[in-house]
Amino acid sequence: MSDVAIISCTSYEDAEVQKAVERGIALLGGAEKFVRPSEKILLKLNWLSGDPPEKCVTTHPAVFRAVATVFQRAGAQLSYGDSPGFQSSEVAAKKTGAAEVAEQLGIPLGDFRTGQEVHFSEGRQNKRFMISNAVLESDGVISLPKMKTHAFQRVTGAVKNQFGCIPGALKGEFHVKIPSARDFAKMLIDLNTFVHPRLYVMDGITAMEGNGPRGGDPRQMNVLLFSTDPIALDATMCRLMNLDPALVLTNLAGAEQGAGTYRAEEINLLGDPLENFIAKDFVVNREPEAAETKRAQPSFIKAALTPRPYIIAEKCVRCGICVNMCPVTPKVVNWHDGNKQNPPSYQYDRCIRCYCCQEVCPESAIQVKVPFLRKILDRK
């Protein structure tokens, strides 16, 4: 059985968050179960980009403060940070409000700019990773994910948060090397197993629904989730979103690879009742996953069945972030007509459907469209 603590928290007021965090960690055995005095512990936040807390893109600084306070009292030597999709860790720390908290508590920013290649013989999909020095220089990691939707993996939570342990632009290379969503999920489980956070504390006080993980809408969920099992935590998140956990590929891969369980009968819920927090109308992709075949599909079939990103011209400000973040060479999304007065366009026959462009768009101008034929087939 895997324990997941569900704790009510209705605001980001420091006192309320502190009380909720202390309660959640106590239900799992207390801070002393996870750290020893003088251990170097990295608090791995979620910074897709340097967005202010009210946009609900990143781990809220109040949650960071509360978790850090608990483990500082236990004697741990803390560091913090993440490797954003773009921008530097320093810029993201300042814009998300984390830097102010860290300065007040005397917590240094970890080195997410550089890393070292590590070999992981137990990996099913990946046996080597480039891991940030912030992770490698710590004795342990405590992961603080944000409850959000995601175009590529439906949701981003406990498992996906460790993708930020890979330095900067190197993350884009994985999308090129592993375009299959199923194989990408297996890679994420390998990475999570290697990093092996001791505890996960999910910020779900205000979550993100819809066009996540950056361009969606805030959704008040009033909850913090705690677990040592990332699959059980993500499965619980799914149930709060009224989403079948079996539709999430990282849950399936995690169970298959022994990283945890998503089955309700194998999860012991602690704290407040799950039913108090279920949002039946939470906006998330509930479409069935398309079957994959090992045989190469003709490009016209892939185009007809695979969801694709598209740019809403009225929202696009021609900033070029989507172009810069496209991991494919030459760029799939670009000003192919040479006119930067127009929005960039796609060459879909080369698009690997990684949705990095949609993920980082600061204007919510890129969304993912399910082709009409796919919708018809899914109804059958």
Calculated CA dihedral for residues 253, 111, 42, 225, nearest 10 degrees: -50
Tens of pLDDT, residues 66-78: 999 999 999 999 9
Which residues of the chain does CATH 3.30.70.20 include?
Answer: 299-379
The answer to whether residues 203 and 43 touch, using CB atoms and an 8 Å cutoff, is no
Q: Specify which residues 143 forms β-bridges with.
A: 44, 200
Residues (pLDDT < 70) of the chain are 291-305, 371-380
CA distance 152 to 239: 19
Strands 199-209 and 267-271: unpaired
Token pair listed for 330: 């030459």
Question: pTM of this prediction?
Answer: 0.93
For residue 66, which of 8, 17, 7, 16 has the smallest C-alpha distance? 17
For the 299-379 domain, the top CATH level (class) is alpha beta
Which residues of the chain does CATH 3.40.50.11440 include?
Answer: 2-277
Residues 6+ apart with CB under 8 A from 110: 42, 79, 80, 81, 89, 132, 133, 134, 135, 137, 138
Architecture of the domain defined by 2-277:
3-Layer(aba) Sandwich (3.40)
pLDDT on residue 172: 87
Tens of pLDDT, residues 202-228: 999 999 999 999 999 999 999 999 999
- Residue 336: Cβ within 10 Å count: 14
For residue 366, which of 87, 89, 51, 152 has the smallest C-alpha distance? 152
